[in-house]
Every structure is written in C-alpha cells, then in structure tokens.
C-alpha cells in the first residue's frame, strides 16, 4: 500500500493561526526610516499555522526520508556509514560549540590543540610529511591537491606540463577538478583485471605530464595490484601523483599511501572517519602531502612551539580555501572517532569493510554478475540479472519497496548497467543477508513477473518520477492555487 505524503503547509493553513507571538516594537514609528516599514500590501504571503502544525509537518517529512539511523544505505563510493552519537556529543560541548573563530589565539589553545593533533594523526595514518585541514569538502581537497601540483611545477619554471592523467576507474569528480585547475584531463583505460592499463599509462608519460590522479582502491572496489609501478611511471617522467582518498576506509592500518609514493592525498572525513554526509551540510576534506609539497599547503595550519599552539602559513602556500579554519565541528567528530578506535580499531574498520563487501558479493554474485571476479575491497560493482526489459534503475526502484535505499547506479561508466554496492564496516551480518535476499527476490520477480519490477516503487509516497523532465523543466517554487 502506498504511503501518503503529509499535506502541504498551505493546505493546513487557516487564517488567524499563529505559532509565535512578538511583543510590540519599542521604537516609535516616527524614528524608523520609512524604507524599512513594511505595509500590509508588502507582507510576505506565508501560511498561517500553529506550532503543533509546524512540528508535525516537519517530523512527518523527516519520517518519509531515508537515513542511516533508520535503514541500510549501501551507496557505493559515498560510504553512508553510521555516525556514532559520541561524535555529536563532543562537537556539541560548549567549550567547542560556543568558541568564536575570531577569538584570540591565546584564548583558543584548546581548539588549536585539537586541530594540531588531528593534523598529526592524519600524517601518521597515511604516511605524509605534513597536512592541512583547510579544505571544506572532498572535492575541495581534490582542488587543493591539484593546485599544489600546479604550484610546484610553476615554482620550478616547468610550465610545459599541462596534462593530468586520470584512470577511467577514478572518482567521478577528478576530471572537473583538473579542468578547473587549468589542466587538460587525459583518460587512461583499465585492463581486463580492473587495474590501470600500465602500458597505456606509460605511452602517455612524457614531459607535458603534470601528474596522475588515482583512486586506490578504485571505484570498481579493487586495489591496484601494480600501484608502485604506476607511481614510478609518473615520477620517472617528472610528474607527481595525487591520491584520491575517497576509499581510504578500506586500507586503514593496512597501507599508508605516502609510503607507496603518493605525493598528495585528500581525506573524505565522512567516508573514513564517520562525519555526517549528505544534505548539503558542512564537509571536510583535509589534505596530506609529501615533503616536496609541504611549502605549498593551503593555510593556515597549526604549529606547536613548546606548550603553545599558533597558526602558520606555509611560505609558498596556494592560499586559503575557506574562511576561518575548516569546518571545525566536522574535524572534532573525526578527531573523536580516531581517538576512540586507536590503531587497532582503525585497522579493524578496514578489515570489517572488506569482509562485509566480500561476503555480500558472495551472496549475490551468481545472480547479479560481477565483472571482475577477484576479491574486492570495500565495495563491488554488480550488474542486473539477464531479464527481458528489466534494467538497473528498475531494481533500484524496487528495492525501495523492500525498505532499502538503492545502491549507486550507472557508475562507474566503464561497467554497463552498474550497481555499485558498499555495505560499509558499520553493518552486521543479519542486515547484509536481508539485503541480499531482497536482491535475489527482485531477480525472481524480474524473471517471473517483470512488470512488478518495472512499475516499482508501489509503496512510496510518490511513484516513479520523470527524472529527465524534472531536470530539464524544474519547478523551483510553490505557487498557491488561490
């Protein structure tokens, strides 16, 4: 049975209802500039509601949404894992939450100590010489990394390096980052094992290459088995290697990217260290660098002198990326997560992420073929069963009727009809088995009654939308029928 959406606020509006009362203005009207006085005709046309109307409306709306606190959220690449409530408690502590970013350094030592320790933790975990917490999202961390590569070459007078190589299994934002940074993106194909085609890479490596952007594990959920050879090929032609840290939760405590020769990498704190993700809220994408790029880090960063902490701007910095000092609340959450787990716990995160993905893959791979039949890391890419007229989008929509959010669909582009599934380290065996059984049941439906799948969803408040039309002809504001 289809759920019903809560009524619109306009539909519950009644003349005279009020949720808030304001006292009379204590400034005489004669002292208020006439341009600031709104007459009745200029009043905004807003619904009139009681406080209870408002509370119920937004509570009911929240209950129609999917959230990691209520359901399994297997979005490949995006790592929609559980955010421990302890993180929220720490970020809400008054000493942190009420601390103003313009407070003097002398009055900010506790907050600066947290930033300094987080920088040190990131350096140690990933094997880098230095780190900056400035970038406010993973994509901005990418931008910082490529801008540092550009600054490094320009500082040496090497202006002929105009190309950056990107494997076709890389994170989807990489080409945009390269273009925004003034470089030309060059795609490198994958080989039959899902690794970077090493010969194709070597053919492109010349003195016009500024660097390589590589995601490892890649978006196929596979670890680059010849990663050191890939890095050497780029270094040998004078380029630098950017590591997209989107999938770092698969290798925590197992591999340090800096030890492999990666020159710069960003960390998606929501993917690896459990800060909230989605909804357009604040993000964080710190960057770690090797010794070559230390002078070019975005600033300010925090330094320690004796028992005191202060801000420092690297001598050849690419500049600020954000007002103030990063999204401090997100950084606090990540700091808490790292401290709670410690070295052994961080390693366990990777172990469980890889175990969960391989277990789920094993449960469904005979029905949902996996293109690369080798052990995966934190995620894997499956394809739909062979059923007439049933596609990836149909399966994604039908999963909603079973109470599950869909995986990432149609990405990466190198796998036709891709279903990109990441169970994350947060989930237990029982959840994975329920999800697998839902997928297998949908496969049976696709074979026996395909219209059941192609007409899904049937239990959600709205049926399948015309997404193409919505994108081309969006309705961006409500217009009252009256």
The domain ranges of the chain are 9-63, 86-341, 348-469
Q: How far apart are CA 449 and CA 160, in angstroms?
A: 60
Whether 189 shows a pLDDT value over 80: the answer reads: yes
pLDDT at 462: 85
Among 222, 223, 240, CA closest to 231: 240
* Sign of CA pseudo-dihedral 228, 231, 234, 239: negative
Whether 59 shows a pLDDT value over 60: the answer reads: yes
Q: How far apart are CA 200 and CA 107, in angstroms?
A: 55
pLDDT at 212: 98
- Expressed in percent and rounded to 5, the helix, strand and coil fractions of the chain are 40, 10, 50
Among 432, 83, 459, 63, CA closest to 278: 83
CA 136: distance to chain centroid? Answer: 11
pLDDT at 312: 95
CA 269: distance to chain centroid? Answer: 8
Tell me if 385 sits within 8 A of 368, measured CB to CB: yes
Strands 209-215 and 240-245: parallel
pLDDT at 34: 81
The tens digit of pLDDT for each residue in 149-187 reads 999 999 999 999 999 999 999 988 899 999 999 999 999
pLDDT confidence bin for 67, thresholds 50/70/90 = confident
What average pLDDT score do residues 186-210 get?
Answer: 97
62 or 417, greater pLDDT: 417
pLDDT at 66: 84
Tell me if 130 sits within 8 A of 289, measured CB to CB: yes
Q: How far apart are CA 112 and CA 312, in angstroms?
A: 12
CA torsion 361-366-372-378 (nearest 10°) is 0
pLDDT at 203: 98
Partnered with residue 274 across adjacent β-strands are none
Q: Show the CA angle centred on residue 273, arms to residues 215 and 407, nearest 5°.
A: 60
CA torsion 51-55-56-58 (nearest 10°) is 130
Return the SS3 of 295: helix
Task: Write out the CATH class of domain 86-341.
Answer: alpha beta
pLDDT confidence bin for 482, thresholds 50/70/90 = low
Q: How far apart are CA 448 and CA 387, in angstroms?
A: 9
Tell me which of 185-199, 384-398, 467-481 is least confident.
Answer: 467-481
Q: What's the pTM?
A: 0.90
Partnered with residue 209 across adjacent β-strands are 163
Q: Which uninterrupted H or E stretch holds 190?
A: none
Exposure pattern of 199-211 as b/e (b: 16+ CB <10 Å)?
Answer: eebbebbeeebbb
Tell me which of 170-179, 258-267, 272-281, 385-394 is least confident.
Answer: 272-281
In the predicted model, what is the mean pLDDT of the chain? 93
What average pLDDT score do residues 400-412 get?
Answer: 95
**Residue whose pair of structure tokens reads 């036709």 in the numeric block:** 416
Tell me if 427 sits within 8 A of 356, measured CB to CB: yes
385 or 34, greater pLDDT: 385
pLDDT at 171: 86
Among 162, 426, 117, 424, CA closest to 286: 117
User: Would you state the structure tokens that stand for residue 382, as one six-digit string?
Assistant: 């499956």
CA torsion 351-227-383-410 (nearest 10°) is 110
Whether 454 shows a pLDDT value over 70: the answer reads: yes
CA 255: distance to chain centroid? Answer: 21
**Residue whose pair of structure tokens reads 């964080």 in the numeric block:** 284
403: left (phi > 0), else alpha (psi -120 to 50), else beta?
A: left
Partnered with residue 196 across adjacent β-strands are 190
DSSP H helices, 181-297, are 198-204, 227-236, 257-260, 269-272
Q: How many CB atoms lie within 10 A of CB 175?
A: 18
Whether 99 shows a pLDDT value over 60: the answer reads: yes
State the burial class of residue 151 (Cβ atoms within 10 Å of its Cβ: 0-12, 13-18, 19+).
middle
The tens digit of pLDDT for each residue in 112-137 reads 999 999 999 999 999 999 999 999 98
User: Would you state the structure tokens that stand for residue 193, as one six-digit string?
Assistant: 């094992």
Range 257-261, long-range pairs (CB < 8 A, 24+ positions)? 257/126, 257/127, 257/128, 257/216, 257/288, 258/126, 258/127, 258/128, 258/129, 258/288, 258/290, 259/127, 260/227, 260/228, 260/231, 261/228, 261/231, 261/232, 261/235
Strands 184-188 and 163-167: parallel
Q: What is the dotted CATH code of the domain comprising 348-469?
A: 3.90.1150.10
Tell me which of 139-143, 354-358, 386-390, 424-428 is least confident.
Answer: 386-390
């Amino acid at each position: 049975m289809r759920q019903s959406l809560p009524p619109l606020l306009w539909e519950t509006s009644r003349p005279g209802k009020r949720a808030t009362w304001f006292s009379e203005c204590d400034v005489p009207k004669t002292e208020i500039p006439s341009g600031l006085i709104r007459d009745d005709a200029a009043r905004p046309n807003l619904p009139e509601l009681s406080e209870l109307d408002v509370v119920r409306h937004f509570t009911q709306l929240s209950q129609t949404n999917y959230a990691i606190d209520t359901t399994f959220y297997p979005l490949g690449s995006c790592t929609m894992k559980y955010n421990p409530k302890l993180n929220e408690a720490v970020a809400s502590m008054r000493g942190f939450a009420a601390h103003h970013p313009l407070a003097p350094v002398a009055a900010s030592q506790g907050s600066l100590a947290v930033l300094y320790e987080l920088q040190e933790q990131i350096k140690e975990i990933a094997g880098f010489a230095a780190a900056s917490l400035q970038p406010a999202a993973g994509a901005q961390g990418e931008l910082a990394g490529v801008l540092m590569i550009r600054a490094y070459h320009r500082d040496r007078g090497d202006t002929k390096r105009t190309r950056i190589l990107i494997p076709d299994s890389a994170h989807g934002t990489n080409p945009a980052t390269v273009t925004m940074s003034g470089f030309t993106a060059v795609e490198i194909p994958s080989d039959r094992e899902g690794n970077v085609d090493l010969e194709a890479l070597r053919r492109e490596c010349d003195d016009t290459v500024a660097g390589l952007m590589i995601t490892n594990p890649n978006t196929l959920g596979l670890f680059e088995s010849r990663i050191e050879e890939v890095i050497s090929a780029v270094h040998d032609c004078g380029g630098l290697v950017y590591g997209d840290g989107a999938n770092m939760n698969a290798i925590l405590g197992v591999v340090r990217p800096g030890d492999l020769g990666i020159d710069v990498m960003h960390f998606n704190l929501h993917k690896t260290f459990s800060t909230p993700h989605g909804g357009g809220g604040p993000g964080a994408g710190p960057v770690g660098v090797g010794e070559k790029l230390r002078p070019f880090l975005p600033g300010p960063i925090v330094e320690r002198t004796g028992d005191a902490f202060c801000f420092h701007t690297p001598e050849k910095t690419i500049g600020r990326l954000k007002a103030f000092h990063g999204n401090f609340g997100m950084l606090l959450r990540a700091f808490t997560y790292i401290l709670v787990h410690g070295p052994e716990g961080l390693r366990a995160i990777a172990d469980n992420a890889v175990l969960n993905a391989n277990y789920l893959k094993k449960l469904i791979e005979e029905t949902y073929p996996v293109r690369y039949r080798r052990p995966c890391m934190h995620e894997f890419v499956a394809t739909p069963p062979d059923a007439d007229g049933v596609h990836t989008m149909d399966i994604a929509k039908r999963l909603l009727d079973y109470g599950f959010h869909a995986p990432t669909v149609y990405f990466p582009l190198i796998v036709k009809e891709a279903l990109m599934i990441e169970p994350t380290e947060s989930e237990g065996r029982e959840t994975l088995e329920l999800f697998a059984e839902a997928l297998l049941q949908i496969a049976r439906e696709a074979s026996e009654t395909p219209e059941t799948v192609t007409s899904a969803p049937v239990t959600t408040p709205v049926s399948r939308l015309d997404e193409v039309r919505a994108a081309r002809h969006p309705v961006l504001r409500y217009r009252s029928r009256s």
